[in-house]
Chain A
Amino acid sequence: MLDDLARRLPFPVDDYVAAGRAYTAWREAGAVRDGADYEAVSLWTYVYIQRHLAGRFARERTSGPADLDDAITRAFGSVMERLASIDDPPRFAHYVSVVCKNTVIGHRGRRRETVEADDRVLPPDEEVTPSPYAAEAVRADIEAALSDLPASVREVARLRYLDGLDYETIAERTGRPIASVRTYAARACARLRADPHLRAHHFDDVLPPMPTGPPPDE
């Protein structure tokens, strides 16, 4: 059954903090490819990738089961090959999420090369939309990106981006003129636009690199 592996996870697949803790513990213990922490990390990685990519491929036109299996194999191989050297261990889940995103981009690129599609007739669904699985990681990255802004800007930005409030409500809640609220939000927006961790969620110009070539287990 497909959910057998998920039941074996020692923590929920969407508990990214627990995944980061398990990975950090494994690294701190010497990154030996054996033991409970290694098993938890590798199992979580597989289950997360399977869930993430199945969700993405459920909407991929012209992709079949073989494409999904290939993508899972590529993404898992990409993470496992670099497992002992990933920067910022507590953000392990973020890394895996970005690998998944890049795997989808890579798959689309290979498919386009295969069919030699003419852009004029390709259906307009090729835009890479943010993964719904990355929402929590994005929120954590927004928090981190805003952390060294002045407190007043940070407060407005949190209400705007994390709580989803409109300007009028933010102005009422903070007691600031709406013009100031807009200005602060614009400053925060500039910061978010330049933040490399946030960029990694939606652009492929940031590590980790896109898996290329044959699947790692071939």
Chain B
Amino acid sequence: MIFWIEFLRTCYTIPSSRTRQAPPLSTPVTLDDRLDAYPLLPPDERAAVERDVEAAPHLASRLAEARVLAATLDAAAPGAPVTADDVARRETDRLLGHATPDADRIAAAVAADDALAAEAERARARLAGWAAAAEPPAAHFARLMAAHGASLPAATEADGRTTARADRPAADRATDRTAAAPPRARRAPAFRRLVLAMGVVAVAYGAAFTGSSLMVPERDRVAALAEVGYVAPVVRGGDAPGDQAARLTAALDAVAGARRTTLGLFPRYDVAALDAAAADLDVLIASADPASVVSQEARLALGRVRLQQGRDADAARVLGTLVAGESYRAPEARRLLDWIRTR
């Protein structure tokens, strides 16, 4: 109440004009005004606005806009609370070898908050799965550059140092006075050889990648276990995801962890690890509410696992429950069932 009296006064007070009269304090502060001021409000006042908008659905889109703007401004402010997005950013930087400027702050928050620690674990598992399955970035980059009609960019020097200073952009060179550039005539042949070698490696890897992709059995392509995944949503207020959601995430991470490759090529699955993950999914499905997202995601994942293992009857049984229950996963389950029926 004190805040609104204060807010009301400020809405109608122009500091440079002390003679202007403020309106009477009984003037109501409209929900419109509060939505305008939403990014400026403390959390409890924002929650009050959200509650009031529930009774005024025509203002829902304005609230959504206000919330996103508030989140954007909050995230840019120093000392903003560490979020699950920040945790994922740190895990990504670890994997990609980037420095995270606020890594210490994030690490402290993760150490003090079990929900963030769980988030870090999940992000780490998902990123590891991606790193194992992804085309090597150098080859991917070279392929994309070639697709845009460009030559390959400068390569790393043979001893692992970064590109020669003379190859760095003009804007960067202008401020760099630490080393002299080698003469272009002396540098160019070695540079071309490196670029050529990198191109050859990229082409060879691309050919192997294509061969590897073509050799994947149709059954594995349809089951698409590499695309199985689930990240439990973090509800407002930062509460930890439910136990079942965490178990689902762990089981699906185990499915991803059963995948083996050779330099990202010729993917295959560890049978014992896959069986263990399927058993976890079975237990989870038995205990979860069939209408829950956890149950639906678990059944789709189990269906895919059984399909990959060649256990078509088991796959059809579990996928059939998704279709019969009109799950939001029914279209995907139906597609898999259609494939089984054509065998």
Task: Name A's B-contacting residues (CB within 8 A).
Answer: 1-14, 18, 21-22, 24-26, 29, 33-34, 36-43, 46-47, 50-51, 54-69, 72-73, 76-77, 80-81, 114-118, 121-125, 127-135, 138-139, 142, 160-164, 176-180, 182-186, 189-190, 192-193, 198, 201-203, 216-217
Contacts and interface: CB of A to CB of B under 8 A. Distances in A.
A192 B123 contact: no
Contacts of A121: 291, 293, 296, 327-328
A8 B97 CA distance: 12
Contacts, number: 294
- Interface of B, secondary structure class, is helix
B37 interface: yes
Interface stretch (B108-116, B161-169, B312-320): B161-169
B171 interface: yes
Contacts of B65: 203
A183 B10 contact: yes
Interface range on chain B: under 10, 10 to 19, 20 to 34, or 35 or more? 35 or more
A164 B10 CA distance: 20
Nearest to A79: B148
Nearest to B119: A59
A120 B234 CA distance: 18
Given A7-B156, A63-B229, A29 B170 contact: yes
Contacts of A162: 76-78
Contacts of A24: 171
A198 B72 contact: yes
25 contacts: A3-B98, A5-B137, A6-B96, A14-B101, A22-B170, A25-B169, A33-B148, A36-B168, A37-B171, A58-B122, A59-B85, A59-B123, A64-B133, A69-B134, A69-B135, A124-B233, A162-B77, A164-B78, A164-B80, A177-B15, A179-B6, A182-B7, A198-B69, A201-B72, A202-B71
B216 interface: no
Interface of B: 6-7, 9-11, 13-15, 36-37, 39-40, 65, 67-69, 71-73, 75-80, 83-86, 88-89, 91-93, 95-99, 101, 119, 122-123, 126-127, 129-131, 133-138, 140-141, 143-145, 147-151, 153-156, 160, 162-163, 166-172, 224, 226-235, 291, 293, 296-297, 327-329, 331-332
